[in-house]
Amino acid sequence: MSDYNKMAGQKENGISLQFRRVIAYIVLLLATFLCLFWFYVLFINATRSNSELKTGFSAIPGAFLIENWVNLKNGTLPIFNGMMNSLFIALTTAALSTYFSTMTAYAIHAYDFKLKKFMFTFILMVMMIPTQVTALGFVQLIGKMKLDDSFIPLIVPGIAAPAVFFYMKQYMDATLPLSLIEAARIDGAGEFRTFNQIVVPLMKPAIAVQAIFSFVASWNNYFTPALVLHTDTKKTLPILIAQLRSADWLKFDMGQVYVMIAFSIFPVILVYLVLSRYIVGGVTLGGVKG
């Protein structure tokens, strides 16, 4: 009788496991649809004219994609300059942010000093300060430093990224044993060599994940560039999209707006495709503290 109950229990557990798996797949499919549907709407609307867009949503592509693109390209906004500006700022910010945040996390992880806990807490406290709170002082500072209308104020502050630091610290706690660092020191490796040749390669999944997040955050940033950049040829794509949307109603063309938005997300998709294979492993290990 006990064997029968045991078999019945195993069968129920198997059915329950299959049911949970089916529910998980349904939820994932629904989430995937909700995420991808808006991209579909964006690309469909990019093929329609302004008059067609005013009539409402349509699931069928239009025939005005090339015309919308030609009108946008021949317009007054320097969209290719905006693309290059956004690429330069986002790539530089992502590279500096991930490298120096990893270095800071390494210092907190590998060294023991009196203010270690305080520094860790202080960096996390900085993460809680909204950008809008410091905007006025930031604009006054760069004005006094003669850095207004330049890329430097948009790149250099990105080096100090508390959220990236926190993620890197958690990842190191899970994957970087102190014994490995001690072994490198015993072998005579200097601190920079240990960091660049041992720590950084081990941190590649986390660096790739945070590079994606930093790139996207910098790419989509509108608030700070709008305060700093004033020359049209130096403006980033989010600013140019906002200018296109705020055009005079006689010149306003929603088709061009959708084409420009579609044009602006291709680099983000490309960066994601290049680094996406690191995301699952990086997020999983970074969220587990050993």
Same-domain check for residues 36 and 120: no
Are the beta carbons of 170 and 286 closer than 8 angstroms? yes
pTM: 0.81
Q: Are residues 150 and 200 in the same domain?
A: yes
8-66 pLDDT, tens digit each: 555 556 667 788 888 989 999 999 898 888 888 888 988 888 888 888 888 888 888 88
Give a yes or no: residue 120 inside a domain.
yes
Parent domain of 22: 2-46
pLDDT of residue 289: 43
Residue 110 lies in a domain: yes
Q: Are residues 11 and 117 in the same domain?
A: no
What's residue 96's pLDDT?
93
In the chain, how many domains are there? 2
Q: Check whether residue 88 and residue 31 sit in a common domain.
A: no
Return the closest-CA partner of residue 201 out of 170, 227, 176: 176
177-210 residue pLDDT tens: 888 888 888 888 788 888 888 888 888 888 888 8
**Co-location of 132 and 227 in the same domain:** yes
Dig out the tokens for 265 from the structure.
């997300």
Q: Are residues 87 and 37 in the same domain?
A: no
On whether residue 64 sits in a domain, the answer given is no
One domain, residues 34 and 79: no
Please report which confidence band the pLDDT of residue 171 belongs to, taking 50, 70 and 90 as the band edges.
confident
Question: Do the domain assignments include residue 175?
Answer: yes
Note whether residue 59 is domain-resident.
Answer: no
Task: Look at residue 78 and tell me if it is in a domain.
Answer: yes
Same domain, 106 and 40: no
User: Are residues 76 and 9 part of one domain?
Assistant: no
131: domain CATH number?
1.10.3720.10
In a domain, 62, yes or no: no
| pLDDT value at residue 267 | 83
Q: Give the mean pLDDT of 74-92.
A: 89
Residues 130 and 210 in one domain: yes
